[in-house]
Chains A and B, each alone.
Chain A
Amino acid sequence: MNYIIDGLIEAFQLLISFDQEIYRIIGLSIGVSFTSTLLSSLIGIVLGMLIGLHEFPFKRIVVRCVYAFMALPPVVVGLFVAIVISRRGPLGSMGLMFTPTAMIIAQTILITPIITGLIYNAVKEHGDAINEVALILGGSKFDRLKLVIVEMKKTIAVAVTTGFGRGISEVGAVMLVGGNIKGHTRVMTTFIAMNNSMGNYSKSIAMGIVLIGIAVATNMMIHRLTGDDV
C-alpha cells in the first residue's frame, strides 16, 4: 500500500519538478499517439464509411479482415514493421529504425482497423437511413456525405477515443521499433515497463497516473468537441 501512496506523491512531484526528461517523455507519447490517431482516423473513417455505404465484390471478406485486424497482436505488428524498416529490410535505406516515425507507423497499423471497424459497424446500422433522408430531402452527394459524418459524430468520437487509447497505451510495438532510447524514443509506456522491471515501482505508478490522466483528459476533450454533454 505504501508504494501506491509513494507513487501518488511521486506523480505530483514529477509534474511540478519540471524535469526535462519527464516532460520530453510525456510530450513524445502525446505527439506519437496523436499523430498516429490522426492518420488512422483519416484512413479509418473514410474506409469505414465506404465499406458501410457501398456494396462491392468480396465485401464479406474485407469486413472479416477488418474485424480480424482489430485484434492484431501489437508485438507482431512491431516485429513486422521492424523487419521492413531494419537495415536489411526493403525500407532499410530510409533509416527509420529506432525513430519516432517508426513508432507512428506501428501505431497507425494497430489503430486503423479499430477505427475502421467501429465506423463500419455504425454506418452499417444507420448510414443508409441517413443517406436516404439526405437524398430525398434534396441533398447533393456532398450534402449526403456531410450529413452521414455529422450524424455519426458521436460514433466517430468514440472510435477516435478508442484509437487514441490504444495508441497511447501501446508498449510492445513501440518498444520493438523505437528501442526505448532515452531522450529519443522513450515514451510513457516503455518508461513504465522499464522501471517496473528495475523494481522502481513508485516511478512506474507515478507515470501510470499521468498516463491515465492524459487518457481521461483527451477523452473528455474529444467528447466536448462533438457536443456530447454526457
Chain B
Amino acid sequence: MIHGVIGANGAGKTTLLRSIAGLDKDYLGEILYDEKNYSESLIQDITYISQKPYMLQRTVFENVAYPLRVRKLDDIENRVMCILKQIGVEHLKDHDATVLSAGEREKVSLARGLVFNPELILMDEPTASIDPKSVQDLEKIIIDYQRTQNATVIVVTHNLSQALRMCDTLSILQEKDLHTVTREELFESIQEHNKMDQLMAQDYKILGV
C-alpha cells in the first residue's frame, strides 16, 4: 500500500520517516517491522529518499550502482540502466552527480533508492523540486513499483492533490498526534468545501482536525 503523511512545517513528518528508517533513534516507544524491532540487517529492505538527497562525488551511474555494490549484487550494469530508463534519466548516466539540478537529483535519488528492490520505501517530498510533467511520470513509477513489488510506501507530501492521486491511506501529523483518514474522506472534505486553491493555506481547517 501507499500511505501518505501530511502535516504543517515542523510537525515532525521528516523525523517520523527518519525514525522509521533507523536514522533517528531519539524517541520513546517502539517501531516494529513485521513485529520485529529495528536492526541494521533490516536496512537491506528499506530505502529512504530524503528531501535534499546527497549525491556521491561520482557519476550518476555510479551513484545508482552504489547500493548494488555494497550489497555485492550482480548484473549491476543492466539493473542500473533499467532503473535509469524507467525514471527517464539515462541520458545523465555519465554526468557528475554533484552538478545536477535539484529536480535531477531527486530523480537520481529515486533511482538509487529503488534499484535494489526494497520492500519498504520512505519518501520525504519526493517530487518537491520536479516539473509538473515529470511529477506525473514519477508518481506513476512509484505506483507501478508498489503494485508489482507489493512494497509498502510511506510518502510525506504537502500536495493534497498528489496525496489523493497516489495514496491508499493518509495520516495527518499535528501536535505530535497522528490522525488517519482514507482517500474517500479526504476527497469528500475537499469536494465539500470546494477550495482546492486554498488548500495550502487552510488545509487542516478543511479537514476538521
- Which A residues have a C-beta under 8 Å from some C-beta of B? 126, 129-130, 132-140, 143, 147, 150-151
Structural contact, B56 and A140, CB atoms closer than 8 A: no
CB distance from A55 to the nearest CB of B (A): 11
Structural contact, A143 and B23, CB atoms closer than 8 A: no
The reply to whether the CB of B201 lies closer than 8 angstroms to some CB of chain A is no
Task: Please tell me which stretch of B63-71, B100-108, B125-133, B143-151 contacts chain A, meaning at least 4 of its Cβ atoms lie within 8 angstroms of it.
Answer: B63-71
Interface residue SS majority, chain B = mixed
Structural contact, A136 and B46, CB atoms closer than 8 A: yes
Scan B58-97; emit 1 where CB is below 8 A from any A CB, else 0: 0000000011001100000000000000000000000000
Structural contact, B70 and A138, CB atoms closer than 8 A: yes
In the complex, residue of chain A having the shortest beta-carbon distance to the beta carbon of B116: A138
The answer to whether A138 and B56 touch (CB under 8 A), given A132-B23, A143-B70, is no
Structural contact, B23 and A135, CB atoms closer than 8 A: yes
Chain B residues within 8 Å of A134, by CB: 70
The answer to whether A138 and B23 touch (CB under 8 A), given A129-B54, A147-B56, A151-B57, is no
Bound CA span A159–B106, Å: 32
The answer to whether A137 and B112 touch (CB under 8 A), given A132-B23, A143-B70, is yes
Interface residue SS majority, chain A = helix
- Which B residues have a C-beta under 8 Å from some C-beta of A? 21-23, 40, 43-44, 46-48, 53-54, 56-57, 66-67, 70-71, 112-113, 116
Partner of A138, one of B44, B54, B57: B44
Bound CA span A138–B70, Å: 6
Structural contact, B54 and A130, CB atoms closer than 8 A: yes
Contacts A/B (CB < 8 Å), 22 sampled: A126-B54, A129-B54, A130-B54, A132-B54, A133-B53, A133-B54, A133-B56, A135-B43, A136-B23, A136-B46, A136-B48, A137-B47, A137-B112, A137-B113, A138-B43, A138-B44, A138-B67, A138-B70, A140-B70, A150-B57, A151-B56, A151-B57
Bound CA span A178–B112, Å: 55
Chain B residues within 8 Å of A129, by CB: 54
CB distance from A103 to the nearest CB of B (A): 37
CB distance from B74 to the nearest CB of A (A): 15
The answer to whether A137 and B70 touch (CB under 8 A), given A129-B54, A130-B54, is yes
CB distance from B40 to the nearest CB of A (A): 8
The 6 closest A-B pairs by CB, nearest first: A137-B67, A129-B54, A139-B70, A136-B48, A143-B70, A138-B71
CB distance from A24 to the nearest CB of B (A): 42
Chain B residues within 8 Å of A137, by CB: 47, 66-67, 70, 112-113, 116
Bound CA span A172–B70, Å: 48
CB distance from A85 to the nearest CB of B (A): 43
Bound CA span A136–B40, Å: 10
Chain A residues within 8 Å of B71, by CB: 138
Bound CA span A129–B98, Å: 14
Structural contact, A136 and B56, CB atoms closer than 8 A: no
Bound CA span A139–B177, Å: 33
In the complex, residue of chain B having the shortest beta-carbon distance to the beta carbon of A147: B56
Chain B residues within 8 Å of A138, by CB: 43-44, 67, 70-71, 116
Chain B residues within 8 Å of A147, by CB: 56
Bound CA span A137–B47, Å: 7
In the complex, residue of chain B having the shortest beta-carbon distance to the beta carbon of A133: B54
Structural contact, A136 and B47, CB atoms closer than 8 A: yes
Chain A residues within 8 Å of B23, by CB: 132, 135-136
Known: A126-B54, A138-B67, A139-B70. 4 other contacts (CB 8 A): A132-B54, A135-B23, A138-B116, A147-B56
Bound CA span A226–B174, Å: 48
Bound CA span A151–B97, Å: 13
